Structure 1
């Protein structure tokens, strides 16, 4: 079915939901930090959905005590369902699959697998937040004797098992399923997963439960202390509103892991950097000037003239985007060695 027909088919249900307003998608605002429970909070910024363009405003607050940055007020489960819909599945499924199948993603997946291989050779590996299982399929090239399982909320994890990218699929919340996995895994990975979760403390405890003694937890997340985030402000891709609920500084994460009974073996920023900050910020800025693209959360389809103007302007701007993308790649060797790196990696061993 062409996208225009799928969008038209979905529009009535989206409009019914939006007619009731977006305020109902949020929980009451917190007066304390979800990480340390401190009450000295400062507004960081207010923004909109720069990725899909769904209606709504989102606020990030920063705890002055521990540096934790979090969405406040936070989306409820109903809100999360609304803003995730048609991103990783539905209308967005094909785009998401192409992103994970690209050479850039595969290179990053191989680096991550090699990072763990330097400290351990796991027999069983659980990838939490695996989506379509593309990390597992690529990591198998680096660790051919490792069995990879995957866990996610969406239907993609079941498709990953069906297509052979993972051995076993768990569909649901990690904090609910960890008990049945107790001590089963030599490695658990969370690649750009923890920032999406409602309660990172419970997710880390679940990882401790699922790991066997001596097993390793591999985490990669956006770095809220990155100088790129300060420079680009709300245009910095890793803020990724409204999906990113909690942004954990590296020091906070390492301390919590030690409290849970882990030994931190690796904590670094260099290898986890994803060179896309400038091109994404450029696109977000330019996209504000364009007529809207058709989407089911818009009340009606943009007119033919508006669609033609957008199409022409996007193609006219494409050389600029390509040039800025090239600049991201050119600067990558330098940026990843500085505090402009946009992500960090932690590898921790579960104590015996």
Structure 2
């Protein structure tokens, strides 16, 4: 599920040459201005005992720039340092290619090879896009996880809902619940037009105007891989509790910075998510913060939440870096025919590698989800009467 990002400036429908010229003018000013000053202490606990976990480039869009992720030696919080400014987050968020990123394209090629060029029958028969059934099942499972805590919520806000894929799936579990969506982009309006959410709210949860409209309205608030992308996770949690009714429930999924895959794969571990991810918060830190804010933490764990894609995503990112997207407007020149052919060859040659890695991901999933190899954990908390 997409998480809120700084709303990018509208990109006009320009020709490829004009878009390339616009990016060239922007990049001529340098990328250093997109970063805040480097901080010397942990934004979570204030410790000055930091170490650099990784330095990396933008492995998805391949826009110019270098990004550093530091780790606090005391509380294990991971954070981007120096952090992108709002202008920087907008720059790296906008201008996405009109085609899927390399990981998605390579995975699609692998799938076509496995199926002889045909999508699985279940996907073809579904009204969802062909790539969506797995995520649809995960969304349904997330919704079912709330049944034990809140079997009949009247109202539910999905924060960072994007086009409303989670509310769409959750309706099959909670058909009488009113689902609303919040996002910083206009995608949430498309979610409403498609009937996935009843109310569409544009903005950040911490915006005073948004809080004034939504205060105390919801029985459940969900945040799926949202806290990784916000500048201040604590402020986001406080805002989420304000829009909950007393006794309401908060469901949060977060990539686990202590996942063993993160250490083994380094910059190729997709949840490091640079430059989009600003924070990766350990479960102990998140639990303690919710308790400090007056919540009863009902469950914390990774069982059933792990997404089996670490090895396949790493392989796809590595292959994509060999011959990055050739026709991106932030590259100084259009691609040559040779470069296009080379990328096609690398993508096709890499398809079996990604397919094998994906099969291994799924084979290891039952074990990974119960060990330090789980890439995600979930917290369910209940707001206290005075929260």
Identify the TM-score tier after normalising by the shorter chain: over 0.9
Q: 1:85 to 1:291 in 2, by over 3 A?
A: closer
**2: CA distance between counterparts of 1:119 and 1:180?**
26
TM-score normalised over the length of structure 2: 0.85
Q: 1:180 aligns with which of 213, 225, 238?
A: 213
Q: Is the 8 A contact 2:319 2:347 kept in 1?
A: no
Q: Map of 1:322-337 to 2, 5 A cutoff?
A: 322-337=355-370
Kept in 1: contact 2:319–2:346 (CA 8 A)? no
Corresponding position of 1:219: 252
Within the candidate set 6, 13, 16, 2:22 is matched to 13
CA distance in 1 between counterparts of 2:250 and 2:100 reads 28
Counterpart selection for 1:159 from 185, 190, 199:
190
Say whether 1:106 aligns with 2:136.
yes
Determine which of 64, 86, 101 is the counterpart of 1:55: 64
The unaligned stretches of length 5 or more in structure 1 are none
Tell me the number of residue pairs that the alignment of Structure 1 and Structure 2 aligns.
Answer: 346
Aligned partner of 2:55 in structure 1 is 46
1:193-251 deviation line (CA, Å, top 9, x unaligned)? 00000000100000110000110000001000111111111110000100000110000
Task: Determine whether 1:77 maps to 2:95.
Answer: no
Shift of 1:170: 0.7
CA shift for structure 1 position 158:
1.0
Moved more, 243-252 or 98-107: 98-107
Question: Would you say the 8 A contact 2:268–2:317 is kept in 1?
Answer: yes
Instruction: Give the conservation status (yes or no) of the 8 Å contact 2:62–2:324.
Output: no
Q: TM-score, normalised by structure 1?
A: 0.94
RMSD over equivalenced CA pairs, Å: 2.0
Higher relative contact order by CA 8 Å / sep ≥ 6: 1 or 2?
A: 2
Aligned to 1:129: 160
| Aligned partner of residue 221 in structure 2, secondary structure | strand
Q: Which residue of 2 aligns with 1:294?
A: 327
The unaligned stretches of length 5 or more in structure 2 are 1-13, 106-127
More displaced, 312-321 or 284-293? Answer: 284-293
Matched, 1:147 2:187: no
Q: CA deviation at 1:9?
A: 4.7
Is residue 374 of structure 2 the alignment partner of residue 341 of structure 1?
Answer: yes
Distance in 2 of aligned mates of 1:291 and 1:52: 8
Deviates more, 1:101-110 or 1:18-27: 101-110
Deviation at 1:258, TM superposition (A): 0.5
2:235 maps to which residue? Answer: 202
Change (3 A) 1:32 1:322: same
Structure 2 residue aligned with 1:232: 265
- Of 91, 100, 116, which aligns to 2:98? 91
Secondary structure of residue in 1 paired with 2:322: coil
Give the structure with the larger helix fraction.
Answer: 1
Distance (Å, rounded) in 1 between the aligned partners of 2:300 and 2:185: 30
Aligned to 1:29: 38
Give the conservation status (yes or no) of the 8 Å contact 2:301–2:377.
Answer: yes
Cα displacement (A) at 1:320: 2.2
- Give the superposition deviation at 1:64: 1.4
Once the two structures are superposed, residues 273-326 of structure 1 have per-residue CA deviations (whole angstroms, 9 ceiling, x without a partner) of 111000111122222323642111111111011101211221122122222212
Q: 1:111 to 1:83 in 2, by over 3 A?
A: same
User: CA separation in 2, counterparts of 1:314 and 1:300?
Assistant: 21
Aligned residue for 2:341?
A: 308
Q: Distance in 2 between matches of 1:11 and 1:207?
A: 40
